[in-house]
Structure 1
Amino acid sequence: MQSPTPVASTRMRDVLGHFASGIVVITAAGRGGPVGFTCQSFASLSLEPPLVSFSPARTSTSWPVIRDIGSFGVNVLSADQQDVSAAFARRGADKFAGVSWRPSDNGVPVLDGVCAWLDCTLWNEYDGGDHTIAVGHVHDLAADPTREPLIYHRGSYGIG
């Protein structure tokens, strides 16, 4: 049997860009203030126990901080929050500047205007190549059914 030809990362990105996904911001309450990052690779994983997963890049500087905190929020962005997605995708800057939020009952930052949010603790981590697969145990969650989600498809934003 012949070995498969390696898939170029640019081709992988182009082809998988045809899969529409939602956009979330992962947040946590750090000692020096809130921290967070934009993430496109989020999914429901299990109902019993209630688990979700997401995959931060290994190059992320925010994920190691959030991992050490151990609890985090998953904020499902609304269709009108493209600017929030862009702000939390930046490196180094104060990502929370100009972004309204409140702490959940467990203290994780919940961004104002999101269509849903989850309050989680880190369940486990797994190797995911150039990403880490993080699994969170959900302790609380809520949704606003009047808001449409922010969708990312083929390199640009859209609505659900």
Structure 2
Amino acid sequence: MSTLLAVRQCHEAPACAAWGSVDLAPRALRDLLGSYPTGVAIVTTRAADGRNVGLTINSFASLSLDPPLVLWSLVNRSPNLAVFRDSAHFAINILASGHEALARRFADPAVPDKFADVTVRETPEGVAAIDGALATLVCVHDHCRTVGDHLLLVGQVVRVASQPSEPLVFHAGRFTSVPARAPAVPPSQPGDSQP
């Protein structure tokens, strides 16, 4: 049976009419999307006045390997929208499992100076790289576009740094981590004793 025929038959069957939910209210949709675990990152840039600007995101994704492009999104009502939209460079700092407090700090609009007492290194492109991040991708701002209630920002990766660590993960409204991978057990060789 072809896929098209199967889909047509499903739409004609009474049982298919009751499948799923059409409740797309923002809160219901947000709860549903929260079932998808995501990594957590802090995106940083430098404002025209020279101050560092950063915020926590989980909307980061790889877009292309050749050329190396990444994307992330920022809600249209963000007070930092113009800074990121007009920036020449930004850095995606992927957080490690011990960085929950840092993620919360950069997500809290009530914190006046998010970089106070945070160790950063300035990249040659002039943006702050969070010290201890699992990985940092420095990007030249490629382009952006408003889609729905967010601004999509695309950057071309020009510099990377990384260190081994477990990633910080956000799932179902809370922070968690991915357990460390157990070391691989080497295959047994002829003559090895088996337990």
Indicate whether the TM-score tops 0.5: yes
Q: Structure 2 length normalisation: TM-score?
A: 0.76
Mapped partners of 1:68, 1:90: distance in 2? 22
Q: Please give the residue correspondences for 1:7-156 in structure 2 after superposition, counting only pairs within 5 Å.
A: 7-30=24-47, 31-91=49-109, 93-145=112-164, 147-156=165-174
- Partner-residue secondary structure (3-state), 2:86: helix
Give the count of matched residue pairs. 158
Larger radius of gyration: 2
Mapped partners of 1:63, 1:116: distance in 2? 24
**Structure with more strand by fraction:** 1
Q: Structure 1 length normalisation: TM-score?
A: 0.92
What is the deviation of 1:133? Answer: 1.0
Mapped partners of 2:42, 2:131: distance in 1? 12
Aligned-residue identity in percent:
37
What is the deviation of 1:143? Answer: 1.3
Q: CA RMSD in A?
A: 1.8
Q: Which runs of 4+ in 1 moved over 6 A?
A: none
- Partner-residue secondary structure (3-state), 2:117: coil
Gaps of 5+ in 2: 1-10, 12-20, 179-195
Mapped partners of 1:136, 1:69: distance in 2? 11
